[in-house]
Amino acid sequence: MRRLALCLLTFAVLSGCDDMTTQPKQKVYTPLVAPAKTPSDTVQFEQKPVAPPPVTLALLERGQERFRIYCTPCHSELGDGHGMIVQRGFPPPPSYHIDRLRAAPVEHFYDVITHGYGAMYSYANRVQPADRWAIAAYIRALQLSQHASIADVPADQRGKMQ
């Protein structure tokens, strides 16, 4: 009788065994039923305005990296708007090298990334504010690259270019 009881107890304890791959946390996330009232003039944490940082080489390199991830599919590496997705049928965006965009303030590019423009969706949840400035700075560099003259090159380096 004792042996049977021990046997049953063992099975009862063993029944609790699994490989423990599922371990629900004690504090589960419970969202608010309705959004609490937000005071006026508040913005989401990620969306707080960020002042344009000073343009440095590091900023441009960061901008180039982010540009290649998020922008080149449509705008292409050159910024002329003939990216791969455009080649597959997406309405072509304007080239960065037209007069309107060359004259546009740098904030314009920041705002377009944040809010989208025409067929372009917002990139606010993909590109963080600091990176938007980096991309805007890189777009300025791209614009310069297509409108540079030999006079822009330092005198001692001109020999290499010609």
> Site residues (CB under 8 A) for another protein?
19-24, 68-70, 72-73, 84-85, 88-91, 119-121, 125-126
Half-sphere exposure of 137 (CA within 13 A, CB side): 21
CB of 157 to another protein, least distance (A): 26
- Closer residue to another protein, CB minimum distance, 37 or 88: 88
- Closer residue to another protein, CB minimum distance, 25 or 160: 25
Residue 104 in tokens: 């546009």
CB of 70 to another protein, least distance (A): 6
CB of 127 to another protein, least distance (A): 8
Q: How far from 54 is each of 58, 60, 101, 134, 137, CA to CA, in Å? A: 10, 10, 21, 10, 10
- Closer residue to another protein, CB minimum distance, 78 or 85: 85
Q: How far from 146 is each of 24, 65, 80, 159, CA to CA, in Å? A: 56, 19, 10, 20
